[in-house]
Amino acid sequence: MEENYENMTPFKDMAKFLRESRINNALTNRTIVYESHVRWFLRSVRYNEKEKMIYSAVRKKDENDKDVDVEIKFNVGDLRRVFDLGDIDDDPTIVPERLCKGLWFRMGFTGHANGKYLKSLFSRPYKFLIHCAVHALSHRKGAYDETSDYIMNIITCLVLNRPYNISQVLFDNLVDNIRGEKYIMYPRFIQMMIDDQVTYLPKDPAVLMNLRNMKSDTLNRLNQYKLKKDET
């Protein structure tokens, strides 16, 4: 969002809104992600239900140049501080469905009230907003056009400037992943948590994770994006 793309013009107002929003750091933080760090984190990650804490480890060299595992642990509060999401524990994680749907129709939604909330069915500026939220905050491995309930809640609360506990939602998604298949979810967020706690980690450019960032061609596709007939 920072680069001056010519086809950014339709989205400039929304980009400004996002830069001033509580999710700005989560959207724009340019942490370099090392796949080796993330995979080592997932290798030993566990959740302590009693402490409400995620535990794991990363590998680094000690003063004798030997490989050692360094503990990583964090809770919702740690995640909230590092991501700078500006919410609190008492903020809700559920938003009334009627409130969400009413807002989304004011955002130009052209679908059915009880149908899928697809990015392609919204007015152009809100396609950009949804695109940013889904790619940065969604736990999915694919299907980036369809918007999940919690992303819908986040967007509703951002637009209406209502409190919402984004930190808790992201943390709960991480916990669900730990209890499930442990695929690489939120790699940039995991790296941010690692970097917050451990210094002097090995940083091998050969193991950089290739994350998809928004570029000029992305904006061009988004600007022209329409629903296909077989998606209705």
Which tens digits make up the pLDDT trace of 64-119?
A: 888 899 999 999 999 999 999 999 999 999 999 999 989 989 998 888 878 777 88
Whole-model pTM: value is 0.85
Measured between alpha carbons, how far is 201 from 122 in angstroms, rounded to an integer?
A: 43
Q: Stretch 53-61: mean pLDDT, rounded?
A: 94
Lowest mean pLDDT, pick from 40-49, 146-155, 182-191: 146-155
The better pLDDT of the pair 197, 214 is held by 197
What is the reported pLDDT for 116? Answer: 78
The better pLDDT of the pair 152, 223 is held by 152
Residue 125: which pLDDT band, with cuts at 50, 70 and 90? Answer: confident
DSSP letter (8 states) at residue 91 = S
Q: Taking the CA of residue 58 as centre, how many other CA atoms within 13 Å lie in the half-sphere pointing to its CB? A: 23
Q: What tokens does 71 get?
A: 């503990």
Domain ranges of the chain: 24-85+178-205
What is the reported pLDDT for 232? Answer: 39
The better pLDDT of the pair 25, 116 is held by 25
Which tens digits make up the pLDDT trace of 151-177?
A: 989 999 999 999 999 999 999 999 999
What is the reported pLDDT for 21? Answer: 95
Measured between alpha carbons, how far is 151 from 222 in angstroms, rounded to an integer?
A: 18
Residues 6+ apart with CB under 8 A from 92: 163, 164, 165
Asked whether 157 and 164 are in contact (CB, 8 A), the reply is: yes
Residues 6+ apart with CB under 8 A from 27: 1, 18, 132, 136
Q: Stretch 120-136: mean pLDDT, rounded?
A: 87
Residue 188 predicted with pLDDT over 90 = yes
What is the reported pLDDT for 207? Answer: 85
